[in-house]
């Protein structure tokens, strides 16, 4: 039995449709301690959400498939577990906050019932205890508990996301997967929501994987950072490692270049030229090579391995170290 | 094979309309069932056009000496009470079904679209009046409305087409009006109004083209329904005039002899079922191919 | 809670007013079109041999000599007093015939509606859950056939198989349930099932596509992420949301079923409102036709109203809509 909360090794996931096979995740390794927060950063289509869904075994049935690797969560072999065992873990050991609060709530069920539902499945409590737990949770995410009889359409986007967070946290899971929890919200609400997540994480001592394409968000909440590109992790380390900028993967450097700096006068933000490689094709060498200004022909033809640039800071690039 | 950093040359792109059409037909005929139904419909249409060659006998020539004969090698589906060949009458009945289906659907589609555009563009009292009349028509079940109109116009092929056609107008008018209202809200139409385009020009140049696709879909999907409506009316004796071969009327005529000669009543019904089924399946496929977003609407 | 109920009440009131306006247009439409109906009910009734005096007498008796507007006005005021005039053909008060006939038709429509909804939704859910499998294809195929099958032909096929060949059900006829309940049910089995078949097919298809639409929704994934078992996900999250589009179809199908009874009643010789309409049309009995059409329109409006209320109960968003 591992002492880690989450141990993902060599995970590969593909989506098979009638037209093509998409290689969404390719040999992913992630490990996370209890109570730790990891920021999973990357652009749309990098495989972040797919990785999170695999942890919950929620890949779209019949389309998404894990082709290799293993996932151990709290000592349980997720991929080898029965449907029943997974059902017991979902919402209880691990829960997920989805991207769009507008659509993640059932429109014909009161919000109170939607929070209550998770508790009822996993916790053996009396009626009054259940009701109290729902009230407490609502207050904790900043919604007055008298509103539990209301339906999702009576709440604003930010309020809905609070309810989604309440659903995710009410059973006090050991791990929360937050999939771009602030993207669909107004900028002013985003900050509130991040503060709320950070606060709740600390109070409940929950571990978290925060999926985002926003490095600023990561800096606020996470101790560890992993940068994903085209289905694999290209750089990982502590937040300090990544933000210090002593060593950087060219892609991460590109991401930082795309952040506006207030202290410098910049005409244009730097962009990364080109697009991600076609995910329906298997790539042999470095996936970023086509867009990398340092790339040489050799980068395209040989697979890159993670290089430890400084203690605990790994970078998948031939040019580092 | 070793790759280099150079980007491969872009593939030449085909023109947009060609690609759209190819996509339309690819999706339309993606399922074997749809191909089968199309083939059946084509065969039936050919039989309707060349009925005089396909039918072994004259569908109207009576032979009372040979009435109610069971199926045999000469009359493959037997003869009816007047000694007419059932199979030949079925072949000729295809004409009625196709013509009523196509004409009444085209009529209702056209009139409904005009009413819908007028209603949506004019707004105000005109809009309310047209839409209340449509609501009133929709409040009367289709068969009853067609029966009622049929009673007013009298029997006969043309009158049945008219009755069924009028009864189906409201759905097109409503659909078109809805489309017009949506399109009218869009920016480019507003811009047109600001720059002084008249309401009518606006309607013709922007709105009408956008209303056509959903109306075509609805028309294809209503073909089966129109054919069924004609069969219903003719079965009740309120449709096609007697000597003309109509499947609905044939079933009705055969009903009397059901215990002795079930084929006379049952055979034409199979053809009604077949043609309506095929039109419905092809209609669904056209909808999916033309605009999958319409799936929920109809 | 009181707040919601008021909203719902307001919605119902609004819909009732709308229905009344629609029905007013129905009376206008029906009346105007009726003026164009060929044939004269008096001549139909008296026969070709009637003398001009007789014709004039009866025409005046039924008020057909009055100006059109007066006739319309008399009809409408009569309706408010429960008066529909006398039927020329039946020589009876129309209100007496028509409501008795409506009762018979409802004996056919109500059980048929219940059967079609219950089985249609059940088959649709099964097909959606087995998407792409054999069972799905089979259900979808039968639903397509059910929608395309002419009711009258199905009735005749039913009579041939179950009555004439197997002899397990009676051929035709109707017995009032107050007279002999068992016999009444026995005679209604086939007509009810055939009336139900078309709408059953439509409900199956609608449920299937609504369920497949709902499966893709984020809130279903949320429910899965909660650790709910599939039975609860289907019933509490998928079906409840899928019911919303199904309810819309319910209104349409009730109207269609009322229309279908014309055919079913004529095949099975059931003295309902449908067969009354056919008799009236064949004998150009103006007043019966116009009151009959109006009554059917009222029935459709009532069904639509019921559906709207059901909507409000199922979908909380409707209750709050302006």
CB contact under 8 A, B266 and C153: yes
- In this predicted structure, the answer to whether residue B6 has a pLDDT above a threshold of 60 is no
What pLDDT shows up at residue C282? Answer: 81
Cα distance between residue C141 and residue C128, in whole Å: 13
Q: What is the mean pLDDT of chain B?
A: 79
C275 CB neighbours in chain B (<8 A) are: none
What pLDDT shows up at residue B170? Answer: 92
B281 CB neighbours in chain C (<8 A) are: 144
- The chains found to touch C (3+ Cβ pairs under 8 angstroms) are A, B
What pLDDT shows up at residue B297? Answer: 46
Cα Rg of chain B (Å, integer): 24
- In this predicted structure, the answer to whether residue B24 has a pLDDT above a threshold of 60 is yes
B149 CB neighbours in chain C (<8 A) are: 33
C236 CB neighbours in chain A (<8 A) are: 106, 109, 117
- Residue C59: inside a domain, yes or no? no
What average pLDDT does this structure show over C159-184? 80
Shortest CA gap C297–chain A (Å): 32
A92 CB neighbours in chain C (<8 A) are: 227
DSSP string, A281-315: S---S-TTGGG-TT--HHHHHS----EEEETTEEE
- The ipTM is 0.82
Give the chain A residue whose CA is nearest to the CA of C237: A106
Give the chain A residue whose CA is nearest to the CA of C236: A109
Name which of C223, C227, C241 is nearest A107 (Cβ-Cβ).
C241
Tokens, residue B180: 């017009």
CB contact under 8 A, B152 and C36: yes
Query: Is A90 part of the contact surface with chain C (CB cutoff 8 Å)?
Result: yes
CB B248 within 8 A of CB B7: no
Most A-contacting residue of C128, C222, C240 (CB-CB within 10 A), to test interface: C222
Most C-contacting residue of A55, A95, A104 (CB-CB within 10 A), to test interface: A104
Q: Which residues have C-beta within 8 Å of that of residue A271, sequence separation ≥ 6?
A: A254, A257, A258
Query: Is C225 part of the contact surface with chain A (CB cutoff 8 Å)?
Result: yes
Q: Which domain holds residue C292?
A: 94-321
pLDDT in tens, chain A (321 residues): 447 888 888 888 888 877 788 888 888 888 888 888 898 888 887 888 888 888 888 888 778 888 888 888 888 888 888 888 888 888 888 888 888 888 888 888 889 999 998 888 888 888 888 899 899 888 888 888 889 888 888 888 888 888 998 898 888 888 889 888 877 777 777 788 888 888 888 888 888 898 888 888 888 788 888 988 888 888 888 888 888 877 888 888 888 877 766 666 666 666 777 777 777 777 777 888 778 777 777 777 777 788 888 888 888 887 775
Distances (CA, A) of B246 to A66, B64, B120, B160: 60, 20, 39, 12
- In this predicted structure, the answer to whether residue C22 has a pLDDT above a threshold of 60 is yes
Q: Which of B254, B236, B29, A163 is nearest to C280 (CA)?
A: B236
Higher pLDDT, C74 or C239: C239
B31 CB neighbours in chain A (<8 A) are: none
Name the DSSP letter for residue A225. Answer: E
CB contact under 8 A, A300 and B3: yes
- In this predicted structure, the answer to whether residue C192 has a pLDDT above a threshold of 90 is yes
- A78 three-state secondary structure: coil
What is the total count of domains within chain C?
Answer: 1
Q: What are phi and psi of A110, to 5 degrees?
A: -65, 150
Query: Is B11 part of the contact surface with chain A (CB cutoff 8 Å)?
Result: no
Query: Is B232 part of the contact surface with chain C (CB cutoff 8 Å)?
Result: yes
Give the chain A residue whose CA is nearest to the CA of C226: A91
Q: What is the mean pLDDT of chain C?
A: 82
- In this predicted structure, the answer to whether residue B75 has a pLDDT above a threshold of 80 is no
Band of pLDDT at residue B106, cut at 50, 70 and 90:
very high
Give the chain B residue whose CA is nearest to the CA of C37: B152
CATH superfamily of the domain spanning B102-298: MetI-like (1.10.3720.10)
CB contact under 8 A, B144 and C293: yes
CB contact under 8 A, A290 and B2: no
Name which of C36, C144, C256 is nearest B277 (Cβ-Cβ).
C144
- Residue C4: inside a domain, yes or no? no
- Chain A residues within 8 Å of chain B (Cβ atoms): 285, 289-290, 295, 297, 300-301
What pLDDT shows up at residue B209? Answer: 76
DSSP string, C134-195: HHHHHHHHHHHHHHHS-HHHHHHHHIIIIIIIS--S-SS----TTT-HHHHHHHHHHHHHHH
A109 CB neighbours in chain C (<8 A) are: 236-237, 240
Cα distance between residue A28 and residue B208, in whole Å: 53
Most B-contacting residue of C15, C89, C204, C281 (CB-CB within 10 A), to test interface: C281
What pLDDT shows up at residue C92? Answer: 76
Cα distance between residue B250 and residue B234, in whole Å: 9
DSSP string, chain B: ----SSPPPPPPPPPHHHHHHHHHHHHHTSSHHHHHHHHHHHHHHHHHHTHHHH-SS-TT---GGGTTPPP-SSSTT-B-TT--BHHHHHHHHHHHHHHHHHHHHHHHHHHHHHHHHHHHHH-HHHHHHHHHHHHHHHTS-HHHHHHHHHHHH-SSHHHHHHHHHHHTHHHHHHHHHHHHHHHHHSHHHHHHHHTT--HHHHIIIIIHHHHHHHHHHHHHHHHHHHHHHHHHHHHTTSSS-TTS--HHHHHHHHHTTTTT-HHHHHHHHHHHHHHHHHHHHHHHHHHHHH-GGGGGT-
pLDDT digits (tens, 9 = 90+) for C99-130: 888 888 998 999 999 999 999 999 999 888 88
What pLDDT shows up at residue C45? Answer: 64
What CATH number did the domain enclosing C186 receive? Answer: 1.10.3720.10
B232 CB neighbours in chain C (<8 A) are: 150-152, 262-263
What pLDDT shows up at residue B188? Answer: 61
Q: What are phi and psi of A47, to 5 degrees?
A: 100, 15
What pLDDT shows up at residue A267? Answer: 62
Query: Is C227 part of the contact surface with chain A (CB cutoff 8 Å)?
Result: yes
Tokens, residue B112: 């409904």
* Domain ranges in chain A with CATH number 3.40.50.300: 6-93+175-189+204-270
CB contact under 8 A, C217 and A117: no
CB contact under 8 A, C227 and A121: yes
Q: How far separated are the first and last CA of chain C, in Å rounded?
A: 18
What pLDDT shows up at residue C134? Answer: 85
Lowest mean pLDDT among A73-87, A256-270, B32-46, C152-166: A256-270
CB contact under 8 A, C293 and B140: yes
Name the DSSP letter for residue C15. Answer: H
Give the chain B residue whose CA is nearest to the CA of C281: B151
Query: Is B228 part of the contact surface with chain C (CB cutoff 8 Å)?
Result: yes
pLDDT digits (tens, 9 = 90+) for C32-86: 887 776 666 666 666 666 777 777 777 776 666 677 777 788 888 878 877 777 7
What pLDDT shows up at residue C322? Answer: 44
- The chains found to touch B (3+ Cβ pairs under 8 angstroms) are A, C
What average pLDDT does this structure show over C238-248? 86
Shortest CA gap A285–chain C (Å): 35
Q: Which of A297-306, B233-242, C5-14, C294-303 has the highest mean pLDDT?
A: C294-303
C266 CB neighbours in chain B (<8 A) are: 236
CB contact under 8 A, B224 and C267: no
B3 CB neighbours in chain A (<8 A) are: 285, 300-301
Q: Which of A32, A29, A30, A28 is nearest to A3 (CA)?
A: A32
CB contact under 8 A, B7 and A290: yes
Whether domain A6-93+175-189+204-270 has CATH 3.40.50.300: the reply is yes
Q: Helix B208-235 to helix B86-122 angle, to the nearest 10 degrees?
A: 140
């Amino acid at each position: 039995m591992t002492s880690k909360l989450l141990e993902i090794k060599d995970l590969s996931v593909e989506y098979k449709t009638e037209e093509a096979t998409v290689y969404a995740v390719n040999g992913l390794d992630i490990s996370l301690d209890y109570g730790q927060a990891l920021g999973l950063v990357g652009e749309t289509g990098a495989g972040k959400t797919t990785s999170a869904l695999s942890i919950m075994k929620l890949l779209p049935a019949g389309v998404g498939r894990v082709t290799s690797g293993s996932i151990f969560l709290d000592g349980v072999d997720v991929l080898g577990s029965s449907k029943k065992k997974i059902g017991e873990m979902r919402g209880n050991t691990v829960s997920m906050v989805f991207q769009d609060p507008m659509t993640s709530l059932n429109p014909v069920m009161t919000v109170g019932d939607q929070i209550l539902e998770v508790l009822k499945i996993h916790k053996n409590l009396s009626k009054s205890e259940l009701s109290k737990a729902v009230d407490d949770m609502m207050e904790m995410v900043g919604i007055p508990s008298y509103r539990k009889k209301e339906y999702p359409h009576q709440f604003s986007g930010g309020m809905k996301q609070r309810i989604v967070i309440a659903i995710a946290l009410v059973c006090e899971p050991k791990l929360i997967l937050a999939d771009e929890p602030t993207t669909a919200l107004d900028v002013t609400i985003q900050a509130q929501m991040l503060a709320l997540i950070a606060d709740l994480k600390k109070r409940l001592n929950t571990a978290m994987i925060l999926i985002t394409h926003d490095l600023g968000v990561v800096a606020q909440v996470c101790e560890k950072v992993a940068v994903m590109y085209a289905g694999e992790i290209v750089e990982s380390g502590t937040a300090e490692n990544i933000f210090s900028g002593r060593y950087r993967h060219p892609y991460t450097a590109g991401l930082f270049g795309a952040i506006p700096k207030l202290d410098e006068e910049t005409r244009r933000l730097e962009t990364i030229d080109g697009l991600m490689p076609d995910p329906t094709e298997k790539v042999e060498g470095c996936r970023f090579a086509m867009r990398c200004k340092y790339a040489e022909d050799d980068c395209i033809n040989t697979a890159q391995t993670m290089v430890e640039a400084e203690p605990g800071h790994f970078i998948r690039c031939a040019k580092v170290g | 094979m070793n790759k280099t950093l150079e980007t491969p040359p872009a593939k030449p792109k085909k023109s947009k309309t060609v690609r759209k059409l190819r996509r339309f037909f690819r999706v339309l005929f993606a399922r074997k069932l749809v191909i089968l139904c199309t083939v059946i419909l084509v065969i039936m249409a050919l039989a309707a056009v060349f009925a005089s060659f396909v039918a072994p006998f004259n569908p109207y020539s009576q032979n009372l000496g040979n009435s109610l004969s069971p199926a045999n090698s000469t009359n493959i589906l037997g003869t009816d009470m007047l000694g007419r060949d059932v199979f030949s009458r079925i072949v000729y009945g295809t004409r009625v079904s196709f013509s009523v289906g196509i004409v009444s659907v085209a009529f209702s589609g056209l009139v409904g679209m005009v009413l819908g555009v007028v209603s949506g563009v004019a707004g105000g009292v005109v809009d309310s009046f047209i839409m209340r009349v449509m609501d009133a028509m929709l409040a009367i079940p289709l068969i009853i409305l067609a029966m009622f109109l049929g009673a007013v116009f009298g029997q006969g092929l043309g009158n049945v087409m008219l009755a069924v056609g009028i009864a189906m107008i409201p759905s097109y008018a409503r659909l078109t009006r809805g489309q017009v209202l949506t399109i009218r809200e869009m920016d480019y139409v507003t811009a047109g109004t600001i720059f002084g385009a008249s309401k009518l020009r606006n309607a013709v140049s922007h709105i009408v083209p956008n209303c056509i696709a959903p109306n075509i879909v609805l028309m294809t999907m209503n073909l089966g329904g129109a054919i069924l409506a004609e069969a219903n009316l003719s079965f009740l004796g309120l449709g096609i005039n007697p000597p003309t071969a109509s499947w609905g009327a044939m079933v009705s005529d055969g009903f009397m002899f059901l215990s002795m000669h079930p084929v006379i009543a049952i055979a034409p019904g199979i053809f009604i079922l077949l043609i309506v089924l095929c039109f419905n399946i092809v209609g669904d496929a056209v909808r999916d191919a033309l605009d999958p977003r319409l799936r929920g609407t109809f | 809670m009181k707040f919601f109920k008021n909203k719902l009440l307001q919605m119902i009131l609004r819909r009732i007013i709308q229905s009344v306006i629609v029905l007013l247009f129905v009376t206008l439409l029906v009346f105007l079109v009726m003026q164009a109906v060929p044939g004269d009910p008096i001549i139909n009734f008296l026969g070709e041999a009637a003398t001009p005096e007789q014709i004039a007498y009866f025409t005046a008796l039924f008020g057909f000599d009055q100006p059109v507007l007066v006739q319309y006005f008399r009809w409408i005021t009569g309706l408010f007093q429960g008066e529909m005039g006398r039927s020329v053909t039946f020589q009876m008060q129309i209100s007496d015939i028509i409501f008795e006939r409506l009762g018979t038709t409802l004996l056919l429509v109500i059980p048929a509606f219940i059967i079609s909804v219950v089985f249609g939704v059940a088959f649709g859910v099964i097909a959606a859950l087995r998407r792409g499998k054999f069972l799905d294809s089979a259900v979808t195929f039968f639903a397509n056939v059910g929608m395309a099958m002419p009711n009258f032909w199905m009735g005749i096929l039913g009579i041939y198989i179950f009555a004439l060949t197997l002899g397990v059900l009676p051929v035709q006829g109707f017995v009032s349930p107050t007279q002999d309940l068992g016999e009444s049910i026995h005679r209604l089995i086939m007509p009810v099932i055939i009336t139900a078949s078309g709408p059953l097919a439509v409900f199956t298809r609608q449920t299937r596509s609504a369920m497949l639409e709902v499966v893709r929704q984020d809130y279903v994934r949320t429910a899965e992420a909660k650790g709910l078992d599939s039975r609860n996900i289907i019933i509490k999250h998928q079906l409840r949301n899928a019911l919303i589009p199904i309810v819309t179809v319910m209104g349409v199908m009730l109207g269609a079923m009322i229309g279908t009874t014309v055919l079913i009643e004529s095949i099975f010789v059931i003295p309902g409102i449908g067969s009354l309409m056919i008799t009236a049309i064949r004998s150009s009995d103006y007043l019966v036709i116009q009151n009959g059409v109006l009554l059917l329109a009222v029935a459709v409006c009532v069904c639509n109203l019921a559906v709207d209320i059901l909507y409000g109960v199922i979908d909380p968003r409707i209750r709050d809509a302006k």
